[in-house]
Amino acid sequence: MYYSESCSYCSKVFYTFSDDKFAAAKALYAGIRKHLEEYGEDDKEHKFDDGPEIDTNEIYGEMTESADAPAGGYQV
């Protein structure tokens, strides 16, 4: 299953493929955090500032699930 979540600052869609929904949430959190840091957006957004455990759980509850990869998304 493909899982996706948008960047909280620029709205780019990030996705991952996994059979484990929680593992997908962890991967999406890590990928979005890396993106925010690499593009200098980390200090401009405040959604993912609560730490890995809280933010991973937040992503888990919000992420989108689909049978196909999202069009135009970035794989993490």
Predicted pLDDT at 42:
62
Q: What is the C-alpha separation between 14 and 74, in angstroms, rounded?
A: 5
Q: What is the C-alpha separation between 32 and 34, in angstroms, rounded?
A: 5
**Quick one: pLDDT band at residue 46, thresholds 50, 70, 90?**
low
* Domain ranges (residues) in the chain: 2-75
What whole-number percentage of the chain has pLDDT above 70?
92
**4-16 mean pLDDT:** 92
Residue 20 has pLDDT above 90, yes or no: yes
Residue 8 has pLDDT above 90, yes or no: no
Q: Which residues of 7-21 are buried (b: 16+ CB within 10 A; e: fewer)?
A: bbbeeeebbbebeee
- 13: enclosing H helix or E strand: strand 13-17
